Structure 1
């Protein structure tokens, strides 16, 4: 019988906020606090719709809606205030149901994975302890790439860190920005509802499967080609 090439083991690239940890609304409040501190009043729902983008694009998009303009120095200051406000709320952030168990199960099955987040290391690495992960966990933060989501840089870097081709990776995220970046990276997209976006929005953005949260995804790993023997 002829030998055929063996299919590569699937790999996963995880967004962080709203995907592995329940932190989206802490970020929303932190951004609102930072914006208010500079005299910019925006509704919470407008801020939420931009969570998941890089901080610079996030600010630019919101300022476009208000008609205001800020200097580069003011935008940098705004991002610093956001980080400080988020750190004040970090004690209220919790892992999403099943997130630690999902990562542990993938590791036990020998499935490569990495965390890829638009957040800076200053705030993103706070999540490692929450998830019971070591400091050397494969993680790509905004500090390490030229551009963040919706550009594909984070997921391209994550695939390299996991030592897989982007086409062999699946991106797991809670926002349309994750899924747009996944498509641009050439990876499949998986949506989770735990960040506040609806199923229809995620599917329109390119998600080929949508799960309620990491626990739901863990229960259905076979749908993603992860088998007990992997």
Structure 2
């Protein structure tokens, strides 16, 4: 890895695209279809994890795993009903382009994959600013494991200490911390600033639009600024 290279890694769901509560609803409905009546508030708090980790978190690791694939497929089918109305958060694409223009190697780091990822990228409409994409299919464990972050860093040849991860959930902050990468949090996924900081976020903004407005005073001001 080159010492002067720095990556700006971005979670997508809930950070760049307004999907957190749609995922919550889809998981709530999918779980109920298979007889698991889980409070929506608990599901919301698990959004940001990979699907396997989410089901372990909500249902326990000692359950019968035989239906996991069917529950996940039901979630995707229910969530797909919302795809035509998905929208990126204001300022999301501009933030990616501004970071790329300042010399960051921009990476999308997401637990989404396949058709879902294709839809998110079309909604975001900023592929011209993106150097690499890491998704759940490429790693053994998704967030809060650090695998997605580490893979993104390897793909663009950036050291962890000079890079920054931007996410909306405590699972993002934990994954970044475990990878040795500073985290910038945004509150658009429903986690409060205090929760994100407690999970390891170095700074928190109300949205990616607010982060864009305050970019010069953030860890994303320029590659390596404020990182180690």
Map 1:76-225 → 2, pairs under 5 A = 76-134=69-127, 138-223=132-217, 224=219
1:226 correspondence with 2:224: no
TM-score, scaled to structure 1: 0.89
How much does 1:162 deviate? 2.4
Q: Secondary structure at the match of 1:18?
A: coil
| RMSD of equivalent CA atoms | 2.2
For 1:107 and 1:158, locate their aligned partners in 2 and report how far apart those are by CA, in whole Å: 15
How much does 1:84 deviate? 1.1
How much does 1:166 deviate? 1.5
1:75 correspondence with 2:71: no
Q: Which has the larger radius of gyration?
A: 1
Give the gaps of 5 or more residues in structure 2. Answer: none
Match of 1:17 in 2: 13
Contact 1:26 1:93 in 2 (8 A): no
Deviations 1:188-216 (A, max 9, x none): 01110010000100011111110111111
Q: Which stretch has the larger CA shift, 113-122 or 19-28?
A: 113-122
Match of 2:4 in 1: 8
Deviations 1:54-103 (A, max 9, x none): 10110011113xx98232x3011111111111111112221012101101
| Total equivalences in the alignment | 221
Contact 1:121 1:142 in 2 (8 A): no
Q: Secondary structure at the match of 1:187?
A: coil
Contact 1:10 1:225 in 2 (8 A): no
Q: Secondary structure at the match of 2:46?
A: coil
Contact 2:5 2:159 in 1 (8 A): no
For 1:80 and 1:225, locate their aligned partners in 2 and report how far apart those are by CA, in whole Å: 37
Contact 2:6 2:159 in 1 (8 A): no
